[in-house]
């Protein structure tokens, strides 16, 4: 299981989700805060489901998203180094 790592663009520390609320079946609004007290940056973010990469084994007839094309599906399989906090990528 993987967990998406939210990174503060100012100090490169991890961000935490303080609270979130569902706005729609495909949209969640979240309020985030940097975990570095000295930085303290906070922000509102939106997490939106935009494309279906593979079909559900238990489909809900109310769920209608466009199917992702092959380029988008391939991109979803590639690991991305820029999703990791910068200090985890630095050599000692």
The pTM score is: 0.66
pLDDT grade for 16, boundaries at 50, 70 and 90: very high
The H-or-E segment that residue 21 falls in is: strand 15-24
Its domain, for residue 2, covers 1-49
- 57 part of a folded domain: no
Number of domains in the chain: 1
CATH of the domain at 37: 2.20.25
Compute the chain's Rg from CA coordinates. Answer: 16
Residue 66 lies in a domain: no
Identify whether 79 is part of a domain. no
Between these two residues, 89 and 57, which has the higher pLDDT value? 57
Q: For residue range 17-33, what is the model confidence (pLDDT) as tens digits?
A: 999 999 999 999 999 99
């Amino acid at each position: 299981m993987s967990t998406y790592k939210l990174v503060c663009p100012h100090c490169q520390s991890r961000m935490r989700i303080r609270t979130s609320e569902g706005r729609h079946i495909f949209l969640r609004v979240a309020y985030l805060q940097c975990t570095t007290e000295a930085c303290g940056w906070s922000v509102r973010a939106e997490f939106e489901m935009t494309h279906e990469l593979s079909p559900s084994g238990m489909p809900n007839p109310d769920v209608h998203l466009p199917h992702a094309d092959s380029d988008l599906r391939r991109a979803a399989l590639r690991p991305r180094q820029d999703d990791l906090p910068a200090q985890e990528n630095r050599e000692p």
